[in-house]
Amino acid sequence: MEPDSPLFTVGQESATFLLSCGILSKAWEVSRLASNSKSFTLNEYEGVAYVAFPSFHNIETFLVKERKYGEGNIQTDNKVFSDCLKGNDDQPALVHQGALKLFLHIMENTDFKTKLQMYTDSKQRKLKPIMFVGHSLGGVVATLATLWVLEKRLRQSSPFCITFGCPLVGDVSLVEAVGRENWAGNFCHVVSKHDIVPRMLLAPFESIAEALLTIFPYWQGKVKYSFIQDACRKLHKNVLDSLSKSDGRNPYRPFGTYMFCSSNGAACIEDSETVLKMLHSTMQRQEASSGEIVQDCFSEHIGYGSVLKHVIEKFISGRRIANPDSDSFYEMGISLQLEAIGVGVQDNPARIALQRAGETENERNTNVDKLAIKLGEKQCRMAELEWYKERCEKEDGIVYYDSFKNQNGKKDIHANERRLKLEGFWDEIIEMWEKHELPSDFESRNKWINAGTTYRRLVEPLDIAFYYRTCKGNGNYLSYGRPNRHKVLQKWMEEKEKTRSSISRGLRTKRASLTLDSRFWAYVEEARKDLENLKRGQHQRLQNLEKFEEYVTTMEKALSISSDVFMKGSSFVIWWEEWKEYKKKQSPEWSSPLYKIMEKLEGLRLQGV
């Protein structure tokens, strides 16, 4: 099937908007003024707080000698960053250790946190928006500072980050974390066509560190280019060499919006892989031998002021060079973007990458729209199962879990049909998610987490019932039978819970209408098996059973077990009666917290409440 292309591209419009609204020029101005600062500057301008970090301060800290590429865990001993910054495989994010040290230095040795408080304190009635900006090494600090504010969820309106000529900072896990949280829109990295710094970490850090030390004084305006020419050549060559090899072991990946500028214009790209490709493409097309180009690679790093000025003049005049020939608006837009960032329309790999990125994003959006419509239809299946639950309780006086397990009536068969339809729907979602066919922040969208949680709590008991009905006591649902969808959906919910502020999660005052732990009935089944075995003399089971009792007690105290569980004759109540009998036989005075709770519930039932 042909991929569904978007109708238009948005890369050039985005870039022109960012340039013409004046925010980039202001950010550049502010970061220039911060260049002599030793830590950071904070100024307000038109109601926005600009925090800027110096470009070349504390260089030695940046030049670390850890690992080949200088990368390391973002989580440090003092827990500045939490463990939500991890990849989809739960691996903690890696960042350049020099960058991390620069940021930690400012966090720990300056009044950064104190000064920031008035912009992040949720007690302030109207919080001013905050922007972190930085050029070069200041950019990496700005990036980490933004991540820190986002990740601490200090404020309602999120911060924005603008960098100029900023080296790459983090690895693919960080890209995934940013995608999951939908933070990519909070970063804008401006990259000039020849500037080597955004690409330099693609080479092994050990191969460039020494040359960098020599080159920094040139960028600081302390020495002339002719003095550092050799170091530049060497660094340039090392970067080009590793680009052409691209051994795949380099950990760094870009995240956020990248604005590529050239003498032809500017365009924005967000897709991480495509940005990486563009960082390559714009660099590789240069003839390495030409001394002038090498010089550009280093002089452009400190020339962002004129780069911005040039692209703004460019769109004011409206002069254009090429006139792409295509009958598709989308392809034409792609051509204009390639032209604008100076890659050239002839660069086929770049064109294909850019085109694919737009198509993939478009497909993901289309998919989620389609799923949303299907979800609406599935609400009716859910309502039918809710009604099934209700009818089991009201008409037959039996908990729906047991009724479904027994499969005695027509309505149980109907319920099974509904269960299978919902299973198909959620399996499809999980499969699409695993194949990256859904937007990267899908799993943290409240709508889907809530829908998934309700589904899991209502329907997983039926999956458990089905399992124990068919496997006749031989298997353990929790170890072998639990479908992937329930595991994934539970994980999504748990991850989201972590990010919600503890204040909003008050204690329950009312009993849950569906048992919060959807695995509950599986624990009951296992406990019943354990009890049988215990009676047969397997004393090692006692511990499991006591643990189960404790689990039920904790759940019940938090009011997180729904009332149907305690219905007369339910699997749980049967277990309880047997367990009580067993315990009483051991010692007639036996009592426990759960014993008291169950006695109280029984008392209430007898009173007819």
206 binds other proteins (CB under 8 A): no
Site string for other proteins, 287-316 (x = CB under 8 A): -------------------------xx-xx
Q: How many residues bind other proteins (CB under 8 A)?
A: 67
Q: Which region among 179-187, 212-220, 345-353, 551-559 touches other proteins (by CB under 8 A)? A: 179-187
- 164 binding other proteins? (CB under 8 A): no
By the rule CB under 8 A, 156 interacts with other proteins: no
3-state secondary structure 355-368: HHHHHHHHHHHHHH
**Which of these segments, 4-12, 165-173, 247-255, 404-412, binds other proteins (CB under 8 A)?**
4-12
DSSP symbol at 71: E
Of residues 579-608, those binding other proteins (CB under 8 A):
none
Residue span binding other proteins (CB under 8 A) among the ranges 77-85, 167-175, 177-185, 233-241: 177-185
Instruction: Measure the CA–CA gap between 337 and 167, rounded to whole angstroms.
Output: 23
27: burial class by Cβ within 10 Å (0-12, 13-18, 19+)? buried
Contact in structure between 137 and 55 (CB atoms under 8 Å): yes
- 532 SS3 class: helix
Rounded to 5°, the CA angle 403-458-419 comes to: 70
Q: What is the DSSP string of 12-44?
A: HHHHHHHHHTSHHHHHHHHHHHGGG-SS-EEEE
Site string (369-408) toward other proteins, x via CB under 8 A = x--xx--xx-xx--xx--x--x---x--------------
The answer to whether 256 contacts other proteins (rule: CB under 8 A) is yes
Which residues are CB-contacts of 332 (< 8 A; sequence separation ≥ 6)? 324, 326
Percent of the chain that is helix, strand, coil (3-state, to 5):
60, 10, 30
Q: Is 84 in the site for other proteins (CB under 8 A)?
A: no
As measured in angstroms, the least distance from the Cβ of 545 to other proteins is: 34
Q: Which is nearer to other proteins, 204 or 358 (CB)?
A: 358
Taking the C-alpha atoms of residue 268 and residue 16, their distance in angstroms, rounded to an integer, is 9
Instruction: Report the residue number, 23 or 104, with the smaller CB distance to other proteins.
Output: 23
**Residue 93: strand, helix, or coil:** coil
**Min dist. Cβ of residue 593 to other proteins (A):** 26
CA neighbor of 274 nearest in space, from 388, 354, 384: 354
Residues in contact with other proteins, shown as a per-residue x/- string from 494 to 523 under the rule CB under 8 A: ----------------x--x----------
| CA 586 – CA 580 distance, rounded (Å) | 10
Identified binder of other proteins from the candidate list 324, 349, 397, 569, rule CB under 8 A: 324
Minimum Å gap between C-beta 390 and other proteins is: 7
**Residues at the contact surface with other proteins, assessed by CB under 8 A:** 6-14, 16-18, 20-23, 46, 48, 129, 131, 157-158, 160, 182, 184-188, 256-257, 268, 270, 312-313, 315-320, 323-324, 326-327, 329, 332-333, 336, 358, 361-362, 365, 369, 372-373, 376-377, 379-380, 383-384, 387, 390, 394, 510, 513
